[in-house]
Chain A
């Protein structure tokens, strides 16, 4: 009986420490934004900030599942591109088609997730190669299907998921629909990871797949499910992105790396076993706050990539140092 709390407690303490780290970064960065642009402290602009950050947060939550299971999902950005292009072509501006098409989009996401998972679990291809391959594949499919240029049109009821803002809501004043989706997705991800036996199994698989297998965890289905969660998150993010930035063939470019960076900033350990949804949430908010800050400072957009590289190294490097000190 004593063994169980002993094994549970350290991991919880670590996840809280990771959360504090990301939360701290976010607060500092947002404070810097507020210094430059004081009206970012108003509820309305904060809600708008959350609305624009929503896709990244949702992507990070999905990516977190794969990272905790010990892998990477690099196909997320391609799925976002596919979703945006497919939505515009399938809906073709007809509002009545919106909901059936959204179901179809989730079916595509499911297919990509299952394919990723099966390639990793059954063909034993390392996930970084497997998902890079599906990234090429999905991107190529999306472009071949659309002929390389966006076609079609997104009707308002589709775009509203990303850009509609509810007015006169008590307490907060304005409430974008995307923020509701953000909160729902985060709660769902947190519940799945921290409140279910499935979440514990996922962590066990990521920490030590052989041990998890011997303990009776169905390793392959668990691993596949992580990729499915990630792909479905990418579809959700794609729908939001299609909503507020419209149709573009570059809609998803680079998002997979941002999602990984967000998870790492949030204290998730690469190659599995440790991390939390709250960490991923604040990690992605930190990253987005940083991008906002760069914009406010008037730095070239291109430096975003460089900065993201520095942050990735710093975040992983810091966790390596922390880990080294604790052992």
Chain B
């Protein structure tokens, strides 16, 4: 997570994209500090303020980590928002406030995510269906089933589970630690393991990877499973944070679009094969700073949506505009 690991992870892939996460983090810090000073809320730049800022990054960061894998292999996952809602609802439905059900509920959610990930990956990798349509469809299926199955808000998570989202050992909120640990694991997998190197190979040039003897389908499948697991953890976190899951929690958070946006802002190519989780973390920090700044300035909720849309487009455009060819 420090600058050291950043450079050692990147040197072998060339220096050209070295500063992207740093630039994004600097931009995030600049926006946050400017907003805090401009609105006279200098106390936001304290430890408590910053820990609040980091807390904001958790849900989107967890989804973004998974999304990074999907995008790195040249696919994409639009079903994450629906999966987050489903997991959050399922967790609170299974727990019903009972601490004994925490582990079974978490396991059930992980199994669900695994199934969704395998289905997504299977549709994309084995059947050859366009990933946008495949994952959009699985998202629709989940959302529809959710809306049909849970018309009322039944269930709430166990208080012990809820406490997890609010604990702060050593002054760092537990969810932030969770995100950090998972990010380090993801970084390690991508930068230091053979599996990670193969993921880059598959995303960079699927035909070449296939000719080199890689089972391309398996890697795409694995990436989709990881994307779904990321969404699952985010859903569990949101359920813990909000005490109970609602069927529209994922859709309202626009986690599908925003997770893609932070991945791309972090310098990961939408065409796959280039980028990494550090950029994604920088991207989520930027979004959290923007969000916090909007709040400090007291921007109206609908206007916030307008600005978000514009920022997503602008952020992607910064990278995309350098493309020589035509995009669709």
Spell out A's residues near B (CB within 8 Å).
69-72, 119-130, 132-141, 143-144, 148, 206, 209-210, 213, 219, 223, 257, 260, 264, 270-272, 300, 302-310, 312-313, 316-317, 320, 324
Residue ID in chain A nearest B325 by CB atoms? A210
B168 contacts the other chain (Cβ, under 8 Å)? no
B37 contacts the other chain (Cβ, under 8 Å)? no
B16 contacts the other chain (Cβ, under 8 Å)? no
B137 contacts the other chain (Cβ, under 8 Å)? yes
Task: Given A143-B305, A144-B306, check contact A126 B144 (CB 8 Å).
Answer: no
Q: When chains A and B are docked, how far (Å) is the Cα of A268 from the Cα of B122?
A: 23
| 0/1 string, B288-328, CB within 8 A of A gives 1 | 00000000000010111111111011001100111101111
Q: When chains A and B are docked, how far (Å) is the Cα of A257 from the Cα of B134?
A: 12
Distance in Å: Cβ of B316 to nearest Cβ of chain A: 5
Interface CB pairs A-B, < 8 A, 28: A69-B328, A119-B317, A124-B326, A125-B313, A125-B317, A125-B327, A126-B270, A126-B320, A126-B328, A127-B327, A129-B270, A129-B316, A130-B316, A132-B312, A133-B316, A136-B306, A136-B308, A137-B309, A140-B307, A141-B302, A210-B326, A213-B326, A302-B144, A303-B144, A305-B143, A306-B140, A312-B136, A317-B129
| Contact B312–A129 (Cβ < 8 Å) | yes
| Contact B127–A320 (Cβ < 8 Å) | yes
Candidates A133, A300, A316; contact of B148 at CB < 8 Å: A300
| Contact B133–A140 (Cβ < 8 Å) | no
Q: When chains A and B are docked, how far (Å) is the Cα of A209 from the Cα of B133?
A: 22
Q: Knowing that A125-B320, A135-B309, A312-B140 are A-B contacts, what are 4 other residue pairs whose CB atoms are under 8 Å apart, sorted by A's residue number?
A: A141-B302, A144-B302, A260-B133, A324-B128
Number of interface residues of B (CB under 8 A): 50
Q: When chains A and B are docked, how far (Å) is the Cα of A125 from the Cα of B318?
A: 9
Q: When chains A and B are docked, how far (Å) is the Cα of A119 from the Cα of B139?
A: 26
Candidates A119, A206, A213, A306; contact of B141 at CB < 8 Å: A306
Secondary structure of the B contact surface, majority rule: helix
B185 contacts the other chain (Cβ, under 8 Å)? no
Distance in Å: Cβ of A87 to nearest Cβ of chain B: 19
B197 contacts the other chain (Cβ, under 8 Å)? no
List 6 A-B pairs, minimum CB-CB distance, nearest first.
A306-B144, A140-B305, A305-B144, A136-B309, A137-B309, A309-B140
| Contact A309–B328 (Cβ < 8 Å) | no
Residue ID in chain A nearest B305 by CB atoms? A140
B26 contacts the other chain (Cβ, under 8 Å)? no
Q: When chains A and B are docked, how far (Å) is the Cα of A317 from the Cα of B129?
A: 6
Q: When chains A and B are docked, how far (Å) is the Cα of A308 from the Cα of B142?
A: 11
Residue ID in chain B nearest A311 by CB atoms? B137
| Contact B130–A270 (Cβ < 8 Å) | yes
Residues of A within 8 A of B133 (CB): 260, 264, 270, 312-313, 316
| Contact B312–A144 (Cβ < 8 Å) | no
| Contact B328–A127 (Cβ < 8 Å) | yes
Residues of B within 8 A of A134 (CB): 309, 313
Q: When chains A and B are docked, how far (Å) is the Cα of A114 from the Cα of B80?
A: 30
Residues of B within 8 A of A140 (CB): 302-309
Q: When chains A and B are docked, how far (Å) is the Cα of A63 from the Cα of B126?
A: 28
B22 contacts the other chain (Cβ, under 8 Å)? no
B112 contacts the other chain (Cβ, under 8 Å)? no
| Contact B127–A317 (Cβ < 8 Å) | yes
| Contact A124–B323 (Cβ < 8 Å) | yes
Q: When chains A and B are docked, how far (Å) is the Cα of A149 from the Cα of B254?
A: 21
B216 contacts the other chain (Cβ, under 8 Å)? no
Stretch at the interface among B44-52, B102-110, B224-232, B256-264: B256-264
B53 contacts the other chain (Cβ, under 8 Å)? no
| Contact A271–B328 (Cβ < 8 Å) | yes
Q: When chains A and B are docked, how far (Å) is the Cα of A12 from the Cα of B240?
A: 56
Residue ID in chain B nearest A115 by CB atoms? B313
Task: Given A127-B328, A312-B137, check contact A306 B148 (CB 8 Å).
Answer: yes
Distance in Å: Cβ of A21 to nearest Cβ of chain B: 17
Distance in Å: Cβ of A148 to nearest Cβ of chain B: 7
| Contact A133–B123 (Cβ < 8 Å) | no
Residue ID in chain A nearest B320 by CB atoms? A124
Candidates B257, B260, B309, B317; contact of A124 at CB < 8 Å: B317
| Contact A309–B138 (Cβ < 8 Å) | yes
B184 contacts the other chain (Cβ, under 8 Å)? no
Q: When chains A and B are docked, how far (Å) is the Cα of A144 from the Cα of B301?
A: 8
Distance in Å: Cβ of B313 to nearest Cβ of chain A: 4
B181 contacts the other chain (Cβ, under 8 Å)? no
| Contact B320–A219 (Cβ < 8 Å) | no
Q: When chains A and B are docked, how far (Å) is the Cα of A126 from the Cα of B316?
A: 9
Distance in Å: Cβ of A243 to nearest Cβ of chain B: 25
Residues of A within 8 A of B148 (CB): 300, 302-303, 306
Interface residues of B in 33-79 (CB under 8 A from A): none
Q: When chains A and B are docked, how far (Å) is the Cα of A136 from the Cα of B151?
A: 26
Name which of A126, A141, A304 has the most chain B CB atoms within 10 A of its CB: A126
| 0/1 string, B129-161, CB within 8 A of A gives 1 | 110111011111111111110010000000000
Q: When chains A and B are docked, how far (Å) is the Cα of A121 from the Cα of B323?
A: 11
Candidates B130, B151, B310, B323; contact of A133 at CB < 8 Å: B310
Residue ID in chain B nearest A264 by CB atoms? B133
Candidates A129, A141, A307, A317; contact of B306 at CB < 8 Å: A141
Distance in Å: Cβ of A116 to nearest Cβ of chain B: 10
| 0/1 string, B69-105, CB within 8 A of A gives 1 | 0000000000000000000000000000000000000
| Contact A130–B140 (Cβ < 8 Å) | no
Task: Given A134-B313, A306-B141, A313-B134, check contact A320 B305 (CB 8 Å).
Answer: no
Q: When chains A and B are docked, how far (Å) is the Cα of A124 from the Cα of B127?
A: 29
Residues of B within 8 A of A320 (CB): 127-129
Q: When chains A and B are docked, how far (Å) is the Cα of A120 from the Cα of B316?
A: 11
Q: When chains A and B are docked, how far (Å) is the Cα of A120 from the Cα of B300?
A: 28
Candidates B302, B325, B326; contact of A143 at CB < 8 Å: B302
Residues of A within 8 A of B127 (CB): 317, 320
Distance in Å: Cβ of B250 to nearest Cβ of chain A: 13
Name which of A136, A138, A223, A257 has the most chain B CB atoms within 10 A of its CB: A136
